[in-house]
Structure 1
Amino acid sequence: MSNKLLAFLVGLLLLSALASYVYYRRTVARVPVDAWALVPDDAVFVIATRDHPTLVRHLKETQLWDNLTALPYFQQFEENAVLLDSLTSSRNNLLRFLGRKTVLVSVHVTGPGSFDLLYQVPLNSVREFRQVRGAAEALGRLPRFVVQTREFHNQVITDIREKGTGAGVTYFNYRNHLIASASPLLIEKVIARIEHEGQPSVAADFHNIDYQKLKGVDATLLVNYRQLPPFLNLFFRPELRPSMEMLTGLGKNGLLEMQLAGNKVVFNGFTNPETTRDALHLRLRGQVPQRLRMADILSMRTAVLLHLGIQQPATLRQPMPALPDAAANTALDSVAALLDGEVALCYLASASARQPPARIALAHTADARRMAVALGRLRRAAGGSPSFERVGPYQIYQVGIDEVPARLLGPLFRGFGAGVVVQAGSFVAFAQTSAELRPWLQDVVAGQVWARSPTQVAFLEEMQPLARLSVIMDAQNSWNVLLRALKEDRRAGLLRNETLFKRFPQLALQLVPPADSEQEKGAQYFTQLLLRHPAVNNVAQGAVAAEDGGTLTFRSALLTPPLLVNIANARTPGVLVQDSLRVLHYITPENVATWSDTLSGPVVGPVHRLPVADASGFLLASTNQLYLFDPQGRLAPHFPLNLPDSVQVSSLTPSPQSRGGATRLLVGGGGGNFFLFDTNGNAFPNWQPKRLEFSPAAPPHYLSVAGSDVIVVLLENGYIFAFDKQGGTYPGFPISVGARLHTAAFVEAGPTLQRTRLTVVTQQGERVQFNLSGYVLNRSRISTWSRGCTFRIIPDQEKRSYVVVRQEANGLLTLFDAAGRRVLERRFTTSGEKPVQFFDFGTGRRLFTITEPGPNQVYLYNSKGKQLGGRSYTSTTPAIGARFDTGTNSWILYRTEGRALRRTSVTAE
Structure 2
Amino acid sequence: MSKKLLVFLTGLFLLAALASYVYYRRTVAAVPLDPWALVPDDAVLVTATRDQPTLVRHLKETQVWDNLTTVRYFQNLENTVALIDSLTGSRNVVLRFLGRKHVLTSVHVTGPGRFDVLLQVPIGSVREYRQVRSLVDALARDPQFRVRTRDYEGTLLTEINEPGTGRGLTFLNHRNHLIFSPNPLLVEAVVRRLAGPAQPTVAADFQGTDFFRLRDVDATLLINYRRLPQLLGVFFRADVGPSIGALTSLGRNGQLEMKLAGNKVVFNGFVNPETTAGSLHERLRGQPAQRLRMAEVLSLRTALLVHLGLGPAGVLRGPRPATPRPDTLNPAVLPLLDSLTAGLSQEVALAYLAPPTARVKPGRLALMWCARPAQQALLLGQLRRVVGASPSFERVGPYQIHQTGVPELPARLVGPLFAGFRAPVVAVVGSYLVFGDDAAALRAWLQDVAAENVWSRSPTQVAFLQETQPLARLSVVLDTRNAWNLLLRGLVEERRAGLLRNESLFKRFPQVALQLVPAANEQEEGAQYFSQLLLRHPLVGPAVARPQGSTGTGSVLAFKTPLAGAPLLVPVAGATRPGVLVQDAAQVLHYVTPENVVAWSDSLPGPLVGRLQRRTVAGRAGYLLATAGQLHFLDQQGRPAPQFPLNLPDSVRATGLSVSPEGAGAAPRLLVAGGAETCFCTTPTATPTPTGSPNAWTSTWPLSRCT
TM-score, reference length from structure 2: 0.91
Cα gap change, 1:205 to 1:613, in 2 (>3 Å): farther
The answer to whether the Cα contact below 8 Å between 2:561 and 2:584 also exists between their aligned partners in 1 is yes
Matches within 5 A, 1:420-819: 420-515=425-520, 517-545=521-549, 550-580=555-585, 582-597=587-602, 602-609=607-614, 616-620=621-625, 629-634=634-639, 651=655, 653=657, 666=672, 680-685=694-699, 725-727=702-704, 729=705, 733=707
Determine what percentage of the aligned residue pairs are the same residue.
58
Give the equivalent residue in structure 1 for 2:691: none
> 1 CA distance for matches of 2:116 and 2:40?
12
Equivalent position SS for 1:381: helix
> 2 CA distance for matches of 1:465 and 1:634?
40
Displacement of 1:593 in angstroms is 2.5
The answer to whether the Cα contact below 8 Å between 2:671 and 2:680 also exists between their aligned partners in 1 is no
> 1 CA distance for matches of 2:480 and 2:616?
35
Matching residue's letter, 1:552: L
Give the equivalent residue in structure 2 for 1:305: 305
The answer to whether the Cα contact below 8 Å between 1:396 and 1:434 also exists between their aligned partners in 2 is yes
Higher CA-based Rg: 1
Matching residue's letter, 1:452: R
> 2 CA distance for matches of 1:67 and 1:199?
40
Cα gap change, 1:220 to 1:334, in 2 (>3 Å): same
Displacement of 1:578 in angstroms is 3.4
Matches within 5 A, 1:408-427: 408-427=413-432
Give the equivalent residue in structure 2 for 1:169: 169
Displacement of 1:214 in angstroms is 1.4
RCO comparison, higher one (Cα < 8 Å, 6+): 2
Residues 804-831 of structure 1 show CA distances to partners (whole Å, capped at 9, x for unaligned) of xxxxxxxxxxxxxxxxxxxxxxxxxxxx
Equivalent position SS for 2:565: coil
- Bigger drift between 156-165 and 315-324 goes to 315-324
Cα gap change, 1:15 to 1:63, in 2 (>3 Å): same
Equivalent position SS for 1:451: helix
Matching residue's letter, 1:253: N
Give the equivalent residue in structure 2 for 1:15: 15
The answer to whether the Cα contact below 8 Å between 2:628 and 2:655 also exists between their aligned partners in 1 is no
Residues 617-643 of structure 1 show CA distances to partners (whole Å, capped at 9, x for unaligned) of 445456777665443344556777788
1:337 to 333, 342, 345: 342
Cα gap change, 1:407 to 1:134, in 2 (>3 Å): same
Residue 402, structure 1, aligned to residue 403, structure 2: no
Give the equivalent residue in structure 1 for 2:379: 374
Cα gap change, 1:635 to 1:162, in 2 (>3 Å): same
Residues 33-90 of structure 1 show CA distances to partners (whole Å, capped at 9, x for unaligned) of 1011111111001111001111110111111111112211111111111111111111
Give the equivalent residue in structure 2 for 1:225: 225
Displacement of 1:18 in angstroms is 1.9
The answer to whether the Cα contact below 8 Å between 1:383 and 1:400 also exists between their aligned partners in 2 is yes
Give the equivalent residue in structure 1 for 2:194: 194
Residues 839-876 of structure 1 show CA distances to partners (whole Å, capped at 9, x for unaligned) of xxxxxxxxxxxxxxxxxxxxxxxxxxxxxxxxxxxxxx
The answer to whether the Cα contact below 8 Å between 1:159 and 1:169 also exists between their aligned partners in 2 is yes
Cα gap change, 1:293 to 1:368, in 2 (>3 Å): same
The answer to whether the Cα contact below 8 Å between 1:361 and 1:431 also exists between their aligned partners in 2 is yes
Equivalent position SS for 2:356: coil
> 2 CA distance for matches of 1:295 and 1:141?
63
Equivalent position SS for 1:457: helix
Displacement of 1:610 in angstroms is 5.7
> 2 CA distance for matches of 1:548 and 1:242?
44
The answer to whether the Cα contact below 8 Å between 2:592 and 2:599 also exists between their aligned partners in 1 is yes
Cα gap change, 1:373 to 1:272, in 2 (>3 Å): same
The answer to whether the Cα contact below 8 Å between 1:343 and 1:361 also exists between their aligned partners in 2 is yes
The answer to whether the Cα contact below 8 Å between 1:61 and 1:631 also exists between their aligned partners in 2 is no
> 1 CA distance for matches of 2:660 and 2:71?
37
Displacement of 1:227 in angstroms is 0.8
Displacement of 1:92 in angstroms is 0.4
Displacement of 1:665 in angstroms is 8.7
> 2 CA distance for matches of 1:311 and 1:101?
47
Give the equivalent residue in structure 2 for 1:829: none
- Bigger drift between 49-58 and 413-422 goes to 413-422
Bigger share in helix: 2
Equivalent position SS for 1:552: strand
The answer to whether the Cα contact below 8 Å between 2:259 and 2:266 also exists between their aligned partners in 1 is yes
Cα gap change, 1:547 to 1:172, in 2 (>3 Å): closer
> 2 CA distance for matches of 1:425 and 1:603?
57
Matching residue's letter, 1:162: E
Displacement of 1:328 in angstroms is 2.1
Cα gap change, 1:684 to 1:344, in 2 (>3 Å): same
Displacement of 1:554 in angstroms is 3.3
Give the equivalent residue in structure 1 for 2:92: 92
Give the equivalent residue in structure 2 for 1:760: none
Displacement of 1:616 in angstroms is 3.5
Displacement of 1:653 in angstroms is 2.7
Taking only aligned residues, the RMSD between alpha carbons, in angstroms, comes to: 2.9
Give the equivalent residue in structure 2 for 1:360: 365
> 2 CA distance for matches of 1:667 and 1:68?
43
TM-score, reference length from structure 1: 0.72
Displacement of 1:599 in angstroms is 5.1
Give the equivalent residue in structure 2 for 1:737: none
Cα gap change, 1:614 to 1:188, in 2 (>3 Å): farther
> 2 CA distance for matches of 1:45 and 1:321?
43
Give the equivalent residue in structure 2 for 1:324: 329
> 2 CA distance for matches of 1:630 and 1:207?
42
Residues 657-678 of structure 1 show CA distances to partners (whole Å, capped at 9, x for unaligned) of 9899998695859998989896
> 2 CA distance for matches of 1:322 and 1:582?
74
Structure 1: runs of 5 or more not aligned: 688-724, 734-909
The answer to whether the Cα contact below 8 Å between 2:359 and 2:489 also exists between their aligned partners in 1 is yes
Equivalent position SS for 1:80: helix
Matching residue's letter, 1:347: Y
Matches within 5 A, 1:138-153: 138-153=138-153
Matching residue's letter, 1:685: S
> 1 CA distance for matches of 2:197 and 2:674?
73
Cα gap change, 1:441 to 1:321, in 2 (>3 Å): farther
Equivalent position SS for 2:564: coil
Structure 2: runs of 5 or more not aligned: 689-693
Equivalent position SS for 2:310: coil
> 2 CA distance for matches of 1:597 and 1:639?
14
Equivalent position SS for 1:500: helix
Give the equivalent residue in structure 2 for 1:182: 182
Matches within 5 A, 1:183-332: 183-317=183-317, 322-332=327-337
> 2 CA distance for matches of 1:407 and 1:592?
50
The answer to whether the Cα contact below 8 Å between 2:145 and 2:162 also exists between their aligned partners in 1 is yes
Displacement of 1:613 in angstroms is 11
The answer to whether the Cα contact below 8 Å between 1:345 and 1:362 also exists between their aligned partners in 2 is yes
The answer to whether the Cα contact below 8 Å between 1:649 and 1:670 also exists between their aligned partners in 2 is no
